[in-house]
Amino acid sequence: MPDLVVKDLHVTVEGKEILKGIDLVVRSGEVHAIMGPNGSGKSTLALTVMGHPRYKVTRGEITYGGRDVIKMAVDERARAGLFLAFQYPAAIPGVSVANFLRTAINARRAEPGVTAGTAAEARKNDMPIPQFVKLLAEKMKLLEIDDSYKSRSVNDGFSGGEKKRLETLQMHMFGPSLALMDETDSGLDIDALKIVAHAIEALRGPDVGILLITHYERILRFVQPDFVHVLIDGRVVRTGGRELAAELEAKGYEFVREELYAGRA
């Protein structure tokens, strides 16, 4: 199955360099946690991998399954199996959750180059409605999401926790082979955190890679990472296991900075 490989990645946003040489490999079946202080480049990394137009790659490589991700359009990345759970999910008033999910799934299943103008061609790969309804019911049960959410407008009037649960619902509905999760645990109470963590663990498997971006160690009490990376000033400065997250929780990031700058002295 495909691996994500990031080599010497440099990224600017509006002319300011944010990522300053990221090296990272996320193999299929692995869970990697990225931790770091505000402004260190965690979200920039996820958004760059997914193809946000504001983030300009000035040097380096991103490949997925050997394919050059940087040259791929956003929809190509989604069809290749990449999925991003946003830190701040947008509201879409007037579009129901069910319609949004079905439209998004069918768009990912459509053949490249097929447009809405060729309706018959665009529909031939659609997920059958009974299959979609069954899948949605299964995933909503997994995430303990009330059936009434299907008719609600996407994220409109949702609490922070409801938005994050909807993001994880999308993730399960799409079935990605690489899930990028940008602070999915932020704003969650302990009950919602456990549900979301359970959903992440339920997605886990030999054919799925997960990159989990977080500020806090608490979600890693429920989601066991294979690797924990510390990102500071646009670089991965330390990598370890689950114990590194506990050390960061106890000491903060200052001890990593002190070790980093001492090594440069």
Break the chain into its structural domains and give their ranges.
Answer: 4-264
Torsion region of 55: left, alpha or beta (phi above 0 gives left; psi -120 to 50 gives alpha): beta
Contact 239, 214 (CB under 8 A): no
User: Average pLDDT in the 23-36 region?
Assistant: 96
**Tell me: the pLDDT tens digits for 141-155?**
988 888 999 999 999
Residue-wise pLDDT for 141-196, tens only, equals: 988 888 999 999 999 999 888 888 899 999 999 999 999 999 888 878 888 888 88
* Among the listed residues 45, 3, 49, 29, the one whose alpha carbon sits nearest the alpha carbon of residue 236: 45
pLDDT tens digits along 56-79: 999 999 999 999 999 999 999 999
Question: Does pLDDT of 261 surpass 90?
Answer: no
Q: Which residue has the tokens 């509201």?
A: 91
Q: What is the pLDDT of residue 81?
A: 94
| pLDDT tens digits along 78-128 | 999 999 998 888 899 999 999 999 999 998 887 665 555 555 555 678 999
Question: What CATH superfamily classification does 4-264 receive?
Answer: P-loop containing nucleotide triphosphate hydrolases (3.40.50.300)
Give the side-chain half-sphere CA count within 13 A for 258. Answer: 5
Q: How confident is the model at residue 32 (pLDDT cuts 50, 70, 90)?
A: very high
Whole-angstrom CA distances from 99 to 109, 180, 240 are 15, 23, 42
pTM assigned to the model: 0.89
Using a pLDDT cut of 90, give the percent of the chain over it. 66
| pLDDT range class, residue 244, cuts 50, 70, 90 | very high
Do 32 and 26 contact (CB within 8 A), yes or no? Answer: yes
Is the pLDDT at 265 greater than 70, yes or no? no
How many helices and strands (H and E) does the chain possess?
9, 12
Q: Is the dihedral of CA 202, 135, 141, 155 positive or negative?
A: positive
pLDDT for position 215: 84
